[in-house]
Chains A and B, each alone.
Chain A
Amino acid sequence: MKDLLSSRVAYGKSLVELGKTNPKVVVLDADLSKATQTVQFSEEFPERFFDMGIAEQNMMSCAAGMATFGLIPFVSTFAVFASMRAVEQIRNFIAYPKLNVKIVATHAGVEVGQDGATHQAIEDIAILRAIPNMVVIAPADWVSTKKAVQAIAEYQGPVYMRVGRSDHEPVYQSDFKFEIGKSVQLRSGKDLTIIAIGNMVSKALSVAEELSKLGFSIRVIDMHTVKPLDETAVIDAAKETKGIITVEDHTIIGGLGSAVSETLSSYNLAPVIRIGIQDRFGQSGIGDELLDYYGLSVSNIVDQSLEILK
């Protein structure tokens, strides 16, 4: 049996590791430290942890001020609040002056489950991606999350990283190189490419497995950095395979699918099918059940893939 571990638990553990080696790292949370798992850091380094109360806007601008002193603030809350309640704070006080603040938002996508639509950020990538100077990352599993935490701490500048809530099948069994802006090809193939982010990467691998049983050869790419997008990988995929399927637990407007389509819009290379939330809100339900309901199931992705493969 494979170990299951959610990305947010991995985030919490990685922060503690980071805190041990980098005294500049401070963590801010808005009364959700148990859910975001920054609680692990708060127990280890209480003097470097700041609970800012249920006041996300103050938290963001406050982190900006800390960054001007050379600290590296990691700011966490649910993705819906980080990316929307406090977006203007992020834009004007963090992104515009390119301050070294890492926003790590958990509970993204409909995967959040039973809390329902108010707590399911399906627009965060679209919003953050539109802001100049921002790097936008969505790691696939816990190994990848640990790597990403290290990478964004080393990077100088603002980052938005979205982390899921639930336990996942691991995508990465062992060590691998995580480089911001450089996608990872998990499976080679010449018929079709599936590009996925976050919790959808393991699903993309299952889809490829299914399709291989039907005799197709499927390339799978983990596009952990949505911005800056690994355009080379996208263009190569469009040239070398018959089409691209993008998969994200996010609205199809403005997210990964849009980024990939925008990249390909000036070439006449290959069709792109965007699989994601079809411009509507989520609802309560079990995470996996919701993913199926909104079309993010292996069977639906297989069906859509066959549209191109036919």
Chain B
Amino acid sequence: MEIIQVNELSKKAYQIRKLTLELLCEAKSGHTGGSLSEADILSVLYFSKMNIDPAKPDWEDRDRFILSKGHACPALYATLALKGYFPLESLSTLRKLGSKLQGHPDMKRTLGIDISTGSLGQGLSAGLGMALASRLLKKQNRIYVLLGCGELQEGQVWEAAMAAAHYKAANLTAIIDYNRLQIDGSNSEVMELSPLADKWRSFGWKVIEIDGHNIEQIVNAFEEAKQTVDCPSVIIAKTVKGKGVSFIENQVGWHGRVPTKEELAKALIELDERMKTL
């Protein structure tokens, strides 16, 4: 992959992070940590991998994206705005009465949202439904589902994992934002997940383990998933919750709090500096 393209995608991820913090500060509530950790994955999907056209959000042959960890939608809204689904200005309406941008993604209100989410543990099932539908209709769509790691404690995820392998849904790719934190603490403190890769393997999935902030690895992982034709793939992306802002990184308390104006100013300076080093 060319260095220029990698840098471009990294830069987009930083733009996503900056916008995310701005809109969270404006909304005065929302989920910061898990939005920042998924930014690089969103950047690669929306600006490189997915076959989509913001001018035709209902285009049948488009690839689908499901944010199963729906609470982290601020970063998705920022991504969709940057991609051109709606104007950047509308981001400031997040979580306000009458807004198209609900606290959790709403497919009926927001262009570019392929299915409503917010209740954890269901996105993979919906993704499987899309994958099966696409196959039945003889289409080529790829279906991407981004899950949180704490979310994997939901039993339904494993119902879907079992079913997707049974139906050999190779057009389905799950990505786990493996930042190791949830609300009450780390995964290990709340409910142990390891050995995570083994769990997925034993369910019949192709497992691809990567650094979820390394653009090249993310791109290659999606390529590898695409080449896998006999089973669904899961990309276990090791990430840092709150990635990009030192005082937010790895802090469990930053799951559901938002920056004050002062914190926002500090965070934006840091993100700009990091962006310059690309």
Which A residues contact B (CB, under 8 angstroms)? 26, 47-48, 50, 52-53, 55, 57-71, 73, 88-89, 92-93, 96-98
A57 to B121, CA, bound (A): 10
A259 to B139, CA, bound (A): 44
Contacts A53-B162, A93-B115; is A65 near B130 (CB within 8 Å)?
Answer: yes
Interface presence of B106 (CB below 8 A)? yes
Interface presence of B114 (CB below 8 A)? yes
Min CB distance B135 to A, Å, is 10
Min CB distance B107 to A, Å, is 5
Which 8 interchain pairs have the tightest Cβ spacing? A65-B129, A61-B125, A69-B133, A58-B159, A65-B126, A55-B159, A62-B129, A66-B129
Question: Which of B66, B129, B159, B167 is within 8 Å of A63, CB to CB?
Answer: B129
A57 to B154, CA, bound (A): 11
A48 to B132, CA, bound (A): 10
Contact with A along B96-127 (1 / 0, CB 8 A): 00000000001110000011101100110111
Whether A93 lies near B108 (C-beta < 8 A) is no
Whether B134 lies near A69 (C-beta < 8 A) is yes
Whether B125 lies near A98 (C-beta < 8 A) is no
Which B residues contact A (CB, under 8 angstroms)? 60, 64, 66, 106-108, 114-116, 118-119, 122-123, 125-134, 136-137, 155-156, 159-160, 162-163, 166-167
Whether B130 lies near A68 (C-beta < 8 A) is yes
Question: What's the dominant secondary structure at chain B's contact region?
Answer: helix
Min CB distance A32 to B, Å, is 16
A67 to B130, CA, bound (A): 8
Residue of A nearest to B121 (CB): A57
Contacts A53-B162, A55-B163; is A93 near B122 (CB within 8 Å)?
Answer: yes
A253 to B114, CA, bound (A): 37
Min CB distance A304 to B, Å, is 42
Contacts A71-B133, A97-B115; is A61 near B163 (CB within 8 Å)?
Answer: no
A58 proximity list for chain B (CB < 8 A) = 125, 128, 156, 159-160, 163
A93 proximity list for chain B (CB < 8 A) = 115-116, 119, 122, 125-126
Whether B132 lies near A97 (C-beta < 8 A) is no
A98 proximity list for chain B (CB < 8 A) = 108
Min CB distance A63 to B, Å, is 6
Question: Which of B118, B119, B155, B160 is within 8 Å of A62, CB to CB?
Answer: B160
Contacts A53-B163, A69-B137, A97-B115; is A61 near B107 (CB within 8 Å)?
Answer: no
Min CB distance A279 to B, Å, is 29
B160 proximity list for chain A (CB < 8 A) = 58, 61-62
Whether A92 lies near B162 (C-beta < 8 A) is no
